[in-house]
């Protein structure tokens, strides 16, 4: 075997915090060969990004590194900044998670690619432009000539990520470090970007170091896998070995907690003879025009009913209007036309005051637990607020209720006095549920409650939600971009595209025999944590093209 492009030996990264060195990645050993992909997998805080950033010394000034990192045989640790700069971009290129922030918004993408080219090569402006257009063509952005002069905000999320990739490929790097390259993208776009990266790997024979938390992406891309936990290497092996015969218990539990499509039994249908908890009839929701920005219709002619005790999953890609539906359903956004009924009351044109009694019957869990809890209030106060404002309890009685709610979501009672920043993401989201359930609502809206959580935390969270729903029998509108999650929970699934409901039906009919073309594409694009299965689907996808 030839020399590896990247060779990492006894590599340790530590951060200086409050008078002591706090290790973030300990004793890492791995090689990446040309034309191969090594995936570093782990949950947030496991040190996977730190390792990737450490390779090119891009860490904050309170970090220190030891051990050895060799790129094409040259040592990277302990060399001067100017020597490092020669390798950055030229031999090692990065693809960042958020293409909107990684591209400079005031320059065109063409300019940014040309800039990279001319920093590293002695190249005239015309030659650089020609090469840039070539690169843009390579990453399959439509109309390369025109796209050259486009600004990042004029491109879609997937195209932006492609432009990022084009920029990082500008110097034919030997090593490509992709740090969660598709996390910010929708599944269908993610599948395309992954296809592109795989194609480039074979075409350019680069080595790829892929950092991700998504086991589906790993199954799709990786030849070799390294699993990290709390800064330590837990398991290291070939893709086949890790997925099919994981030896370490952490890897096993990690794989087990990844939701898989179609592995749970269809939940029994809910009696739909009763009066629905929420009924939307031909609802249209529009964001009113502001200044010169014209009115934007986010949801059009939307129909949905949810019956008591039923969980309905609402799926769609970003921008499809699913969050807007959720917010309107709870009266946070007024609807433009149509009819919206909650527990038999028409709130289509309700004023804020008329909505107060409705609030007692509804609860909402927000997407981002960090932003949905007031950082200046102890969580006990956040949870108790609905009860207090409804005038149901005060003082000691309220405290007692709050403790009960905390227990219900399996948090210690003493957490009542803690502040949101003292809790982990999963714990915060439980507080979110406790607050939403404080008034034992008839309807719970869950707006992507698991998208900010790690898979193992997500698995536990979904279990808890199912248990609570079983006990309290509330109706639930579960909004998610992740079909696999919806699959576990929902009795029925509704699919949205561009503000319209494209398909609705019970779980099996949607997942197994979707009639709508968009739904089928959505299902096909969901990555499955199984390399063999992924290969099959990839081929099917290519054949369909």
Q: Exactly one of 22, 134, 244, 397 binds another protein (CB under 8 A); which one?
A: 22
Q: How far is the CA of 239 from the CAs of 129, 194, 195, 456, in angstroms?
A: 39, 16, 18, 20
Q: What is the C-alpha to C-alpha distance for residues 111 and 451, in angstroms, rounded to an integer?
A: 34
Q: How many residues bind another protein (CB under 8 A)?
A: 69
Stretch that binds another protein, among 49-57, 114-122, 197-205, 300-308 (CB under 8 A): 49-57
Interface pattern 502-531 for another protein (x via CB under 8 A): ------------------------------
Contacts of 367 (CB under 8 A, 6+ apart): 323, 447, 448, 449, 451, 452
Rounded least distance, CB 12 to another protein, Å: 13
Query: CB–CB of 116/165 below 8 Å?
Result: no
**Which 8-state DSSP code applies to residue 186?**
-
Contacts of 254 (CB under 8 A, 6+ apart): 41, 43, 215, 227, 455, 456
Contacts of 352 (CB under 8 A, 6+ apart): none
Nearer to another protein, 223 or 381 (CB): 381
Phi, psi of 329 (to 5 degrees): -60, -20
**Which 8-state DSSP code applies to residue 126?**
H
Q: Exactly one of 88, 150, 327, 336 binds another protein (CB under 8 A); which one?
A: 327
Q: What is the C-alpha to C-alpha distance for residues 423 and 528, in angstroms, rounded to an integer?
A: 31
Residue with tokens 């490929």: 169
Nearer to another protein, 56 or 501 (CB): 56
Nearer to another protein, 447 or 503 (CB): 447
Helix axes 531-544 and 187-204, enclosed angle (nearest 10): 90
Q: Exactly one of 183, 188, 205, 281 binds another protein (CB under 8 A); which one?
A: 183
- 19 touches another protein by CB under 8 A: yes
Stretch that binds another protein, among 48-56, 129-137, 243-251, 339-347 (CB under 8 A): 48-56
Rounded least distance, CB 226 to another protein, Å: 16
Q: Exactly one of 180, 186, 305, 487 binds another protein (CB under 8 A); which one?
A: 180
328: tokens are 């309107």
Rounded least distance, CB 376 to another protein, Å: 4
Interface pattern 331-370 for another protein (x via CB under 8 A): -x-----------------------x--xx-xxx-xxx-x
Q: What is the C-alpha to C-alpha distance for residues 519 and 539, in angstroms, rounded to an integer?
A: 19
Q: Which of residues 371-400 bind another protein (CB under 8 A)?
A: 371-377, 382, 385-386, 389-390
Q: Exactly one of 36, 201, 435, 507 binds another protein (CB under 8 A); which one?
A: 435
Nearer to another protein, 121 or 356 (CB): 356
Nearer to another protein, 102 or 135 (CB): 102
Rounded least distance, CB 56 to another protein, Å: 11
Burial of residue 319, with CB atoms counted within 10 A of its CB: 0-12 exposed, 13-18 middle, 19 or more buried = middle
Checking phi first, is residue 152 left (phi over 0); if not, alpha (psi -120 to 50) or beta? alpha
Interface positions with another protein (CB under 8 A): 15-22, 24, 44-50, 52-53, 58-62, 64, 96-98, 100-102, 179-180, 183-184, 213, 327, 330, 332, 356, 359-360, 362-364, 366-368, 370-377, 382, 385-386, 389-390, 419, 421-422, 425, 432, 435, 438, 451-452
């Amino acid at each position: 075997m030839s020399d590896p492009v990247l060779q990492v030996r006894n590599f340790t990264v530590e951060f200086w915090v409050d008078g002591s060195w706090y290790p973030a990645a300990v004793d890492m050993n791995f090689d990446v060969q040309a034309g191969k992909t090594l995936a570093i997998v782990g949950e947030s805080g496991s040190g996977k990004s730190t390792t990737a950033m450490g390779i090119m010394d891009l860490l904050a000034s309170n970090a220190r590194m030891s051990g050895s990192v060799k790129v094409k045989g040259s040592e990277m640790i302990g060399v001067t900044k100017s020597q490092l700069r020669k390798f950055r971009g030229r031999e090692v290129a990065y693809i960042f998670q958020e293409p909107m922030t990684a591209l400079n918004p005031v320059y065109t993408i063409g300019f940014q690619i040309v800039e990279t080219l001319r920093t590293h090569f002695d190249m005239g402006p015309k030659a650089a432009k020609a090469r840039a257009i070539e690169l843009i063509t390579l990453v399959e952005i439509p109309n390369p000539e025109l796209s050259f002069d486009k600004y990042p905000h004029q491109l879609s999320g997937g195209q932006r990520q492609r432009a990022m990739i084009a920029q990082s490929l500008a110097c034919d790097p030997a090593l490509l470090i992709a740090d969660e390259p598709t996390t910010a993208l929708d599944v269908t776009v993610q599948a395309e970007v992954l296809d592109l990266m795989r194609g480039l790997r074979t075409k350019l024979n680069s080595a790829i170091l892929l950092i991700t938390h998504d086991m589906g992406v790993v199954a799709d891309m990786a030849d070799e896998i390294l699993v990290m936990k709390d800064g330590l290497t837990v398991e290291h092996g070939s893709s086949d070995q890790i997925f099919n015969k994981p030896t370490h218990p952490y890897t096993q539990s990690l794989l087990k907690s990844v939701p898989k499509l179609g592995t749970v039994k269809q939940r029994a249908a809910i009696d739909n003879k009763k009066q629905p908890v929420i009924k939307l009839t031909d609802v249209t929701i529009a964001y009113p025009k502001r200044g010169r920005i014209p009115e934007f219709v986010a949801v059009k002619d939307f129909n949905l009913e949810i019956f008591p005790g039923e969980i309905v999953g609402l799926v769609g890609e970003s921008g499809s209007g699913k969050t807007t539906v959720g917010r309107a359903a709870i009266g946070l956004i007024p609807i433009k036309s149509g009819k919206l009924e909650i527990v038999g009351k028409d709130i289509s044109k309700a004023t804020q005051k008329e909505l107060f009694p409705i609030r007692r019957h509804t609860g909402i869990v927000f997407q981002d637990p960090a932003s949905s809890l007031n950082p200046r209030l102890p969580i006990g106060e956040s949870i108790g607020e609905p009860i207090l404002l409804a005038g149901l309890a005060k003082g000691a009685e309220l405290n007692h209720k709050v403790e009960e709610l905390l227990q219900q979501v399996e948090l210690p009672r003493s957490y009542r006095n803690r502040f949101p920043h003292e809790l982990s993401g999963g714990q915060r989201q439980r507080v979110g549920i406790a607050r939403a359930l404080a008034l034992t609502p008839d309807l719970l809206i869950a707006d992507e409650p698991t998208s900010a959580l790690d898979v193992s935390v997500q698995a536990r969270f979904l279990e808890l939600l199912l248990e609570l729903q079983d006990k309290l029998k509330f109706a639930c509108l579960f909004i998610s971009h992740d079909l696999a999650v919806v699959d576990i929970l929902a009795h029925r699934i509704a699919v949205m595209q561009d503000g319209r409901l494209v398909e609705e039906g019970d779980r099996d009919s949607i997942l197994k025999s979707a009639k709508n073309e968009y739904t089928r594409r959505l299902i096909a694009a969901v990555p499955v944590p199984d390399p063999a299965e992924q290969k099959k689907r990839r081929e099917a996808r290519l054949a369909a093209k």
